[in-house]
Amino acid sequence: MRLVTPGDSAPASVNKYLLPHETQVITVRRHPAVLMVPVGLVLGGLIVAGVLSNIGAGSGAGSAISYIWWAWLALLAWFVWRVAEWSVDYFVITNQRMLLTTGIITRNVAMMPLAKVTDMGFKRSLAGRMLGYGEFIMESAGQDQALDRVPYLPYPEQLYLEVCEMIFPNKNADG
């Protein structure tokens, strides 16, 4: 996790969504575990393409083999796109709100004011505990919010405690 210091700034793709009077507190990219399924599909596709190429090599099915490899290249291109999307997705917490920015071509910005959060929790699956990620679940009074779940966050316990301290500050602390 990267705590943003006062002289620091969020990535340019996120900075344009911050208000001039906001102070950045936390900026994190989603955990790389979000890419587990795409990695598995690319590697599985490579194995299948290799096995089918070996089987088809003896029977003279040259055009079928080329289609198999073109399909795997399409799968690889999809994987590269997913990695590029992951690289621009950020969860940002300022002194006033939480933002989740996603997307390359179609940019989506989900936001929830910290003052609207009435309840917050996090969930960690077995894979999340082993790999170090979790999911934030936020509730607010009234209507549905654009930002109610944020999956694949790194360091969820530390992030959870820091966000809870911002939402529910210690009112008994001295000045």
Q: What is the pTM of this model?
A: 0.80
pLDDT digits (tens, 9 = 90+) for 127-159: 999 999 999 988 887 667 778 889 999 988 899
Phi first, then psi, for residue 81 (nearest 5°) are -65, -45
Fold that domain 5-30+89-167 belongs to in CATH: PH-domain like (2.30.29)
| Residue-range domain boundaries for the chain | 5-30+89-167, 36-84
pLDDT digits (tens, 9 = 90+) for 111-133: 988 888 888 888 999 999 999 99
- Which residue, 130, 120, 117, is CA-closest to 159? 120
Beta strand pairing call for 133-140 and 117-123: antiparallel
